[in-house]
Amino acid sequence: MTVSELQTHLQENSKELTNEFKRLFHGRGGLYEGWNFLTIDSIDTILSVAFYVEIQQELEDELLEMLKKNISSCARAKRQMPLGYRHETIVLQRRYLKKSPTEIIVGKLDEDLFVVENGMKIKLNLLSNQNSGYFPDMKNGRKFVRENAQDKKVLNLFSYTCGFSIAAVLGGASSVSNIDMSKGALSTGRANHHLNDLDTTNVSFAPYNILKSFSRIKKKGPYDLIIIDPPTFQKGSFEATKDYIKIITKLPQIASSDCILLACLNSPELDNEFIKNLIKEWAPCFKFSHRLENLAEFASLDENRSLKNLVFIRE
């Protein structure tokens, strides 16, 4: 793929943009040889670009120049055709550099940014060079929770900024328990509920170490819908290959008789069978139902090793 071909790809994917988030280019999936380093997202009027490895300066200059020209073309066209032309700002994250500041290439960023997903708002920190507070590839997971939360007690493990919780409350959950070690993430999660004008009377935000707090988590159970969405690896707190099993073994103690389990994992080193085998051996009362489809815009060469959202039902 050349920069010119990438431009055509972006134009094709930008035909029906709204204020909702959309990934315009997903090089990380490995479908475009030589472009694994790049992702490009549309966030309302912002074009968010991420480099995951350092590239040759010549290619970087050509790529950014193409994007800036597109922004300029959109600005001119916007005056004549106000629909369909959105982007006014370009930001660049160099994800391969730790603590590297986000670069504003064109335009400006407001302080209180949020992303829109199926009408739901989530606060966004684009000035962070790492996690922005929002994981867009989990959209179908949040949609599933929203569609299955009615009148359920929901447990959201590794809740981060509580996107699943917002989806559950919007879906009519009777209560939601958000568990995450990070008080900062939970604080943002609470703010996310308020951003959506949601009542948090029956929503809790507990800064627990999940692996050491099951007695406290159990007190609010049994739960009708349990979400496990851990990091693949987080130094000092969680490592999927050895710690996922510790959660699976506790499930029968905290789950209702017909509990729905959404078990998530985003590790290319571990496939579907990793979670299935753990459930089969350590929580056999849960039967595999189906895997949620991933978004087409996040397509990967090996879907079995891409994001895994597996649904189980207790029988």
Q: What pLDDT does 82 receive?
A: 43
Q: What is the mean pLDDT of each run of 10 residues along the chain (315 residues)?
A: 93 89 94 95 94 96 93 56 68 89 91 93 85 92 98 97 98 98 95 97 95 92 96 72 92 97 91 93 97 94 88 97
CA angle 45, 50, 52 (to 5 degrees): 170
Task: Answer whether 29's CB lies under 8 Å from 266's CB.
Answer: no
One-letter amino acid for residue 54 of the chain: E
pLDDT of the residue at 83: 41
Q: Both tokens of residue 70? A: 């597109």
Report the helix count and the strand count for the chain, using DSSP H and E. 9, 16
Task: Write down the pLDDT at residue 35.
Answer: 96
Largest CA distance in the chain: 62
Vertex 42, ends 37 and 46: CA angle to 5°?
A: 105
CB atoms within 10 A of CB 141: 22
Please list the alpha-helical segments (H only) found in the chain.
Answer: 3-13, 57-80, 139-148, 163-170, 183-195, 214-219, 240-248, 251-254, 272-282
CB 231 within 8 A of CB 264: no
* pLDDT score recorded for residue 270: 87
50-54 long-range contacts, CB within 8 A, separation 24+: 50/92, 50/93, 50/95, 51/92, 51/93, 51/94, 51/95, 51/96, 52/28, 52/95, 52/96, 53/96, 54/94, 54/96
Rounded alpha-carbon distances, angstroms, from residue 153 to 202, 212, 222, 286: 10, 22, 8, 18
Domains of the chain, with CATH numbers?
3-109 (3.30.750.80), 136-314 (3.40.50.150)
This prediction's pTM: 0.92
Q: What burial class does residue 155 get, using C-beta atoms within 10 Å of its C-beta: 0-12 exposed, 13-18 middle, 19+ buried?
A: buried
- Give the model's pLDDT for residue 187: 96
Residue 85 pLDDT? 61
Confidence (pLDDT) at 234: 64
Structural contact between residues 124 and 135, judged by C-beta atoms closer than 8 angstroms: no
